[in-house]
Amino acid sequence: MPENSPINETSPYLLQHSNNPVQWYSWNETTLKKAIDENKPIFLSIGYSSCHWCHVMAHESFENEEIAKIMNENFINIKVDREERPDVDDIYQKVCQISTGQGGWPLSVFLTPDQKPFYVGTYFPVLDSYGRPGFGSLLRQLAQSWKEKPQDIYKAAENFLSNLKKTESVKIPSKIEKLILDEAALNLLQLGDAINGGFGSAPKFPNAANLSFLFRYSKFSKISKFNEFALKTLTKMAKGGI
């Protein structure tokens, strides 16, 4: 067991994964240097100990011997507890939100050896489902791409960084046109799950910004359906045990 393994950490979340067949490493200079020395892409998994979907993905994929074999042979696999390293989580959550329109945990990020993201998501089922690719097939595809066309991986990474810089340079107008607010509210309602609340399909994560916007827009527009949907979402969350 290497010295920079999670088994030597104190985080409950990292210790939960210390006996996985996946060879996990901690986020530190030794691990990052290892990725460069071995010229292997990094798989970064960020979560926390009470996260439901973190446990689901751990059971489905990280405890799976076949999946672990692919991970160990082709990637430097790093586990991060978001409660210990909110700085690392914040960086890659932004990347995920920009590229996919949503964030959450577990946060799953594939990086070049020099830590540039080229593929990102949250929970990946072990098989294709929930509109997401199966984790096993995704690992195989990315590993093959790295071996055969690493230049394409680096190009994707540069596109990620370019888009991130563009969002940081966008100037927020002092006044937003009503039409933009109308469209934003309607789009959120169209994305809404009329039965279970929330936005999009499973797995879902609480989005305080969206709900806050709907409450404020409903008050501003005097249209009750936006307020009703936000309340329904919060009620479903409360009854669901969040």
Domain containing residue 160: CATH number = 3.40.30.10
Question: ∠ CA(181), CA(165), CA(148), 5° rounding?
Answer: 120
Same domain, 101 and 151: yes
What total number of domains does the chain contain? 2
Residues 70 and 143 sit within 8 Å (Cβ to Cβ)? yes
pLDDT of residue 100: 83
pTM of this prediction?
0.76
Domain closes at, from 134, 169, 204: 169
Residues 135 and 124 sit within 8 Å (Cβ to Cβ)? yes
Residue 217 structural domain? 178-239
Domain closes at, from 169, 189, 215: 169
Same domain, 200 and 155: no
Same domain, 60 and 94: yes
Closest CA to 66 of 1, 136, 146: 136
Question: Mean pLDDT of residues grouped by 10 in the chain (242 residues)?
Answer: 64 91 94 97 96 94 97 98 95 88 91 96 87 89 96 92 72 72 90 89 78 92 94 90 64
Same domain, 164 and 183: no
Token pair of 134 as six digits: 């199966």
Same domain, 165 and 185: no
Query: Using one digit for the tens of pLDDT, what is the confidence trace for 102-127?
Result: 888 999 999 999 999 999 999 999 98
Domain closes at, from 169, 194, 225: 169
231 in any annotated domain: yes
